[in-house]
Amino acid sequence: MAIDDPDMMKREMKELQIRLAEAEDIIRAIREGEIDALVVRHPKREEEVFTIEGGTESYRTFMEAMDIGAAALSPSGQVLYVNSALSRLLGVERETLQREGLTAGLDAAAMQALEALVKRAHNGRSHCEIRFSQNGDERHALIHAAPLELWQDRGVALSFTDITHRMAMEQAQQSEQMALAILASAAEAVIVCNPLGIITHANDAVSAITAEPVTGKPFAEVLDLAIKAGGTEMQGGEFIRHVIRGHAYQGVEATAPSAPSARDLLISAAPLKVSGEKIAGCVVTLVDLTRRKIVEKQQLLLMGELDHRVKNTLALVLSISNRTASTEETIEGFRSAFSGRMRALAATHNTLAERSWSSIPMRDIVLTEVQPFEPNIKAKLTIGGTDFQLLPRAAIAVGLIVHELATNAVKYGALSSEAGHIEVSLRHDYDKPYAELSWVETGGPHVLPPTRTGFGRTVITRSMQYSPHGGADLDYRPEGVSCTIRIPAEDVV
């Protein structure tokens, strides 16, 4: 430096000031993060550029290290960059994707969704889900797109997250929820056990078999069952072991002696195979047969009762037929008397059948038997007293008696004249071993006692004699027939 030259010194000072300002500016720029690369002068080699942070290579290294698929698209949609994770996700070589675009790895529907996403992304961040095929396997991806500042224009940055596993998990979860809902909604008791015979699932219907909570406990411990399978009887624990070893049972009967309500059961069980052939436990369904068993017993009783009644009825019909034939002198007379008696019998049967063969009010029997003979029944017949109900045996007999009384009244008595009237009164004194029906005719023609005993009279006087407390007294009074029928108390409800 030539200190004797003031101009040169001034220039040197100016240059030093500029260099100092430049150095200070560099430090400021570094401190404020305005630069991200420095030029380093190597003593032996030429200058090298040292990236301080976030250089392209660093970004690319970072993008390559990520599991998330990434791609950058130019404003025109051309692929600028694809990372290897996206290449793996789509199952397509990176060079192919860069050369042919993402269409090389996505089908038409996925590309349509992607193109719509890219269009939206020019205005801001957006995302969509796509489904695509990778080597024949269906896969799902969530794509996020964001605007990407490029030279003089905007491109789009894409990130692809493989959500196949998540979707599969969601579907599995939905399937499990559906299975649990089906299990809970099943009308039959359903129990699922693990390979150790511990109950893992049980629906509400199981509470009919055992009152205590069953989940988490061994099947054999909480369900006291005697199962009849394959000709032998086994307990619940042994049964479950058979099933878990691979044996399936279909509709075997079992009893649960200590069950709160369902004591007769029909059990089906099969090994539980969640995937492949491996047995993951077993599923047992238990159908409550208790009500069915009660119904079966009722049906058996009814069939026996029906058989008994049919035999009785046939014997009665045969007897009526024989006795009618022996007392009627003409075929026409037989036909009329026999069919009338059959109708009387059928009418009582019908009324009993309508009431499930339980009991019939006395009043209904009288009306049923008299009505066919007298259309103006309200004017000709009065029923008084306290009504009572008859069991089938007495009802059939009383029906036949009333039929014979009505037939006689039509032919010779109160129902054969305009002024005739029948007064029926019912009485049941609980201290007597019988109930009474009193039939009194008035206003009819003068009555003469019959010269011979016909079958009708036999029916009237003997039908109730099946019991020592039953019977009937028939009186041919001149002013009208009267009859008192005693119905045994054991047949009165």
Binding stretches for other proteins (CB under 8 A) = 14, 18, 22, 25-26, 28-30, 32, 34-39, 46-49, 51, 54-57, 149, 151-152
Of residues 15 and 95, the one with the C-beta less far from other proteins: 15
Contacts of the segment 48-55: beta carbons below 8 A, 24+ positions apart: none
Pull the structure tokens for residue 391. 């069991």
- Residue by residue, DSSP assigns 352-397 as HHHTTTS-EEHHHHHHHHHTTT-TTHHHHEEEEE---EE-HHHHHH
Q: At its nearest, how many Å lie between other proteins and the CB of residue 124? A: 19
Q: Give yes or no for a contact between 191 and 283, defined as CB atoms under 8 angstroms apart.
A: yes
Q: At its nearest, how many Å lie between other proteins and the CB of residue 46? A: 5
CA distance 141 to 153: 28
Q: At its nearest, how many Å lie between other proteins and the CB of residue 139? A: 32
Of residues 32 and 431, the one with the C-beta less far from other proteins: 32
Of residues 56 and 356, the one with the C-beta less far from other proteins: 56
Of residues 18 and 179, the one with the C-beta less far from other proteins: 18
Closest alpha carbon to 312 in 408, 400, 371, 403? 400
Which letter does DSSP use for residue 487 in this model? E
Contacts of the segment 342-348: beta carbons below 8 A, 24+ positions apart: 342/317, 343/372, 343/403, 344/369, 344/399, 344/400, 344/402, 344/403, 345/313, 345/316, 345/317, 345/320, 345/396, 345/399, 345/400, 347/372, 347/399, 348/395, 348/396, 348/398, 348/399, 348/400
Of residues 34 and 296, the one with the C-beta less far from other proteins: 34
Q: Give yes or no for a contact between 381 and 415, defined as CB atoms under 8 angstroms apart.
A: no
CA distance 213 to 1: 103
Of residues 151 and 430, the one with the C-beta less far from other proteins: 151
Of residues 78 and 261, the one with the C-beta less far from other proteins: 78
3-state helix, strand, coil in the chain (%, to 5): 45, 30, 30
Q: At its nearest, how many Å lie between other proteins and the CB of residue 50? A: 9
CA distance 313 to 344: 13
Q: At its nearest, how many Å lie between other proteins and the CB of residue 137? A: 36
Query: Coil, strand, or helix at residue 200?
Result: strand
Pull the structure tokens for residue 286. 């238990």
Closest alpha carbon to 340 in 459, 434, 248? 459
Of residues 78 and 371, the one with the C-beta less far from other proteins: 78
Which letter does DSSP use for residue 446 in this model? P
Of residues 35 and 116, the one with the C-beta less far from other proteins: 35
Q: At its nearest, how many Å lie between other proteins and the CB of residue 149? A: 7
Please give the radius of gyration of the chain, using alpha carbons only, rounded to the nearest integer: 52
Of residues 54 and 213, the one with the C-beta less far from other proteins: 54
Q: At its nearest, how many Å lie between other proteins and the CB of residue 27? A: 9
Bridge-based pairing of strands 434-442 and 421-427 is antiparallel
Q: At its nearest, how many Å lie between other proteins and the CB of residue 153? A: 10
CA distance 407 to 415: 9
Q: At its nearest, how many Å lie between other proteins and the CB of residue 101? A: 22
Q: At its nearest, how many Å lie between other proteins and the CB of residue 15? A: 9
